[in-house]
């Protein structure tokens, strides 16, 4: 078991590019052989990002675009299976909801479809190839915001346990 309890924090490309790049490079470029130029596609500056930390170490990341597309969800290998990936997705879903979006979209790698199904996403299309990997489009309706939610405010600095990360 790793020493620290992970936490999820909101991040921006302008302030956290290096940390975001470090996880995505390790997972997508090195582990999955995705070409660097496909992973870093130029739309990161307009996305809302999330980072998962264990102590001061960045162990996961993900992003949501302004239209509700979630993507680039990645957890370093040694940190998988602890609920961090789910916590990242729920954090990004919260951010989208607070921006008034009612649907979340993503293109899931086939190997991750079951992970997203457990988070309430359903398949909406046929298989297609992206970066040499089979993908499938998925969608999830967002729940209503609680009446006292502060619309437009990102859920910064929440504990990962709020999203079900196991200690």
Ligand X SMILES: CC(C)(COP(=O)(O)OP(=O)(O)OC[C@H]1O[C@@H](n2cnc3c(N)ncnc32)[C@H](O)[C@@H]1OP(=O)(O)O)[C@@H](O)C(=O)NCCC(=O)NCCS
Residues that bind ligand X (CB under 6 A): 27, 73-75, 80-86, 108-109, 111-112, 114-115, 118
Residue number with CB closer to ligand X (27 or 48): 27
Residue number with CB closer to ligand X (2 or 145): 2
Cβ of residue 147: shortest distance to ligand X, in angstroms? 29
Residue number with CB closer to ligand X (68 or 150): 68
Cβ of residue 85: shortest distance to ligand X, in angstroms? 2
Residue number with CB closer to ligand X (122 or 153): 122
Cβ of residue 163: shortest distance to ligand X, in angstroms? 9
Cβ within 8 Å of residue 44, ≥6 positions away: 13, 17, 20, 63
Cα maximum dimension of the chain: 44
Length, in residues, of the chain: 167
Residue from 27, 148, 13, 164 nearest 93 by CA: 164
- Beta pairing, strands 133-141 & 122-123: antiparallel
- The H-or-E segment that residue 13 falls in is helix 13-24
Question: By Cβ distance, which residue is nearest to ligand X?
Answer: 85
Cβ of residue 64: shortest distance to ligand X, in angstroms? 13
């Amino acid at each position: 078991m790793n020493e620290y309890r992970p936490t999820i924090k909101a991040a921006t490309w302008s302030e956290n590019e290096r940390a975001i790049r470090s996880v995505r490079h390790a997972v997508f470029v090195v582990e999955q052989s995705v070409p660097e130029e496909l992973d870093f596609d130029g739309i990161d500056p307009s996305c809302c990002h999330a980072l998962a930390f264990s102590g001061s170490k960045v162990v996961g990341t993900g992003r949501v675009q302004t239209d509700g597309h979630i993507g680039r969800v990645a957890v370093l290998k040694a940190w998988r299976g602890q609920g961090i990936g789910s916590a990242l997705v729920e954090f990004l879903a919260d951010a989208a909801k607070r921006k008034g979006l009612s649907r979340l979209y993503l293109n899931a790698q086939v190997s991750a479809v079951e992970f997203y199904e457990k988070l309430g996403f359903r398949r909406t299309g046929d298989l297609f190839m992206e970066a040499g990997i089979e993908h499938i489009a998925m969608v999830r309706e967002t729940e209503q915001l609680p009446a006292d939610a502060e619309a437009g405010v990102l859920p910064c600095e929440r504990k990962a346990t709020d999203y079900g990360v196991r200690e």
